[in-house]
Amino acid sequence: MAASDAPMGAEEPEMHAGFEFAFDNEAFSDKVLRIEVIDSRYDATQFGADAASRKRRREEAEGDNGEGINSSCSVMGTPVLRFKTMYVNSAILASKSPFFFKLFSNGMKESGQSQASVRITDSDENSFMELLHFMYSGKLTQTADPALLVDILMAADKFEVVSCMKLCGQRLITMPMTLESAVLCLDLPSSVSNAADLEEAAKQYLAEKYKEFLSTKFQDELMRIPLAGIVAILSRYDLGVASDVAVYDFMLRWAFWQYPNSEERYKILSSRLLPLVPLMRVKNGVMKGVVPDCVFGIYLMRERCSKLLLSKTEYFQKFSFMGHVFSLSAHCNMDSYNCFGLLLEMLEDKGPVRGTIDCSFQIKTRPSLEFVTRYKCTYTDSRKDVECRDLFGVPWSEFIADDSPFFIDDILNLQVHMKMA
């Protein structure tokens, strides 16, 4: 447990040093601290889960106003794995931590007793012991492991040891970032000193590391990165990919990997990920021989489709092909029965169409999960718009139903395929 006097990175001042001799020393202690170690309430094998779980546990503890730290032998059915005892000086701990000041002085049931109890998880055991040692010595363990520093920082936040938070933050800022430390830094609570600086450093690291975002060598690694890291990567302005169709496909693969529950997956996709990519996905300049060939993809959430019953029309962003500007819109058409339709219009006259443009409306359906053509048409000099008033061939109620084959995880997948004939 001894810490080195040598600084790491930038020079670090010692904080509250001078009581290391009293650490776990009965002669200089007036209390016995009983440490109850319980089983962690998260899957420690999932990459990146630790920080989020710590954050939840910290928030739960704060919600208990400190009453969660007592001598009970279980939390929500979690048994105590082991007990540890050590001698502590209540004045030293209370002077460094408002948490321990409250524990030893003003109203907790242990305050008038010679023994006090603290409950921690087994994953936090090492960092808690490091924190206790820091409160006596003012020194941090000499380590090049950023994950350990984050653990200590989180423990310092929970027990309100501001000086330790500050020193951990200083070290983390000066240390080389790793993927693991970046993910941990994205989940730091705002109460942590330097949390904003650490979060920004983590985002910059991830953005730089994943310049070639969809490179094959990164795929397995990316699947294990938690939501905060994926959001940071996707928030870049330039993802370094030719088409954000590929980004959308990656989102689906990642969401299926991380969120097996369909309701949770839908919530994450709709609220956190899909807003980061435009509704219209465009893949320009695909060449088959000498024939220009383009695909324009549209991905709509079921909730947004439902609103067409009232709004009647949903416009998508404009796009260009072969020097002409097009507009694509979805409609709820009031024919013999309400139905879903698509309208493709040529907006700007750039002169006559040289030759003809073949166009097809395609949809992806269950169970094949393949795009199939539902409507074909041809642009000529005399035809400036193409409309399919009933793309799916079923009433609106069947199209929007929960068991509709046209929605895959509550997402409608459409694309317009255009090529010069």
Quick one: which of 365, 363, 362, 374 has its CA closest to 405? 365
Tokens representing 300 are: 């709509």
Main-chain phi, psi angles of 90, to 5 degrees: -65, -30
Residue 49 burial (10 A CB sphere; 0-12, 13-18, 19+): middle
Q: What is the per-residue pLDDT across 19-31, written as a single tens digit (0 to 9) for each?
A: 888 898 999 989 9
Q: What is the per-residue pLDDT across 175-214, written as a single tens digit (0 to 9) for each?
A: 888 888 888 888 788 778 778 888 888 888 887 888 776 6
**Residue 273: alpha-carbon gap to chain centroid:** 9
Tell me what pLDDT residue 4 has.
38
For residues 311-324, give the mean pLDDT: 74
Instruction: Specify the pTM.
Output: 0.52
Q: What is the per-residue pLDDT across 249-270, written as a single tens digit (0 to 9) for each?
A: 778 788 888 888 877 887 888 7
Main-chain phi, psi angles of 77, to 5 degrees: 85, 0
Domains of the chain, earliest start first: 20-188 (3.30.710.10), 210-276 (no CATH), 280-420 (2.60.210.10)
Torsion angle, alpha carbons of 41, 43, 46, 52, to 10: -10
Tell me what pLDDT residue 24 has.
87
Site of tokens 């997956």: 265
Contact between 293 and 282 under an 8 Å Cβ cutoff? The reply is: no
Whether the per-residue pLDDT at 133 is higher than 90: the answer is yes
Tell me what pLDDT residue 48 has.
36
Q: Where are the beta strands (DSSP E) in 39-124?
A: 74-75, 78-88, 115-121
**Residue 123: alpha-carbon gap to chain centroid:** 22
For residues 370-394, give the mean pLDDT: 81
Whether the per-residue pLDDT at 298 is higher than 70: the answer is yes
For residues 319-332, give the mean pLDDT: 78
Tell me what pLDDT residue 85 has.
92
For residues 115-128, give the mean pLDDT: 88
Q: Chain-wide mean pLDDT for the chain?
A: 75
Angle formed at CA 379 by CA 316 and CA 280, multiple of 5 degrees: 20
| Sequence letter at residue 303 | E
For residues 348-367, give the mean pLDDT: 73
Higher pLDDT, 350 or 9: 350
Give the range among 57-61, 323-327, 354-358 with minimum mean pLDDT: 57-61
Between CA 227 and CA 229 the distance in angstroms is 5
Angle formed at CA 174 by CA 169 and CA 179, multiple of 5 degrees: 85
Between CA 228 and CA 198 the distance in angstroms is 13
Angle formed at CA 190 by CA 186 and CA 194, multiple of 5 degrees: 75
| Highest averaged pLDDT of the listed ranges 5-9, 67-71, 286-290, 318-322 | 318-322
Q: Residue 6 — very low, low, confident or very high, per pLDDT cuts 50/70/90? A: very low
Higher pLDDT, 293 or 163: 163
Q: What is the per-residue pLDDT across 210-233, written as a single tens digit (0 to 9) for each?
A: 877 667 677 788 888 888 888 888
Tell me what pLDDT residue 274 has.
74
Tell me what pLDDT residue 12 has.
46
Give the range among 93-107, 340-354, 363-377 with minimum mean pLDDT: 340-354
Torsion angle, alpha carbons of 308, 312, 314, 320, to 10: 140
Contact between 340 and 392 under an 8 Å Cβ cutoff? The reply is: yes
Give the range among 89-93, 239-243, 352-356 with minimum mean pLDDT: 239-243
- Listed in sequence order, the residues at least 6 apart from 156 whose beta carbon sits closer than 8 Å to its beta carbon are 131, 134, 162, 164, 165, 168
Whether the per-residue pLDDT at 236 is higher than 50: the answer is yes
Give the range among 46-50, 78-82, 366-370, 410-414 with minimum mean pLDDT: 46-50
Quick one: which of 152, 223, 230 has its CA closest to 193? 152
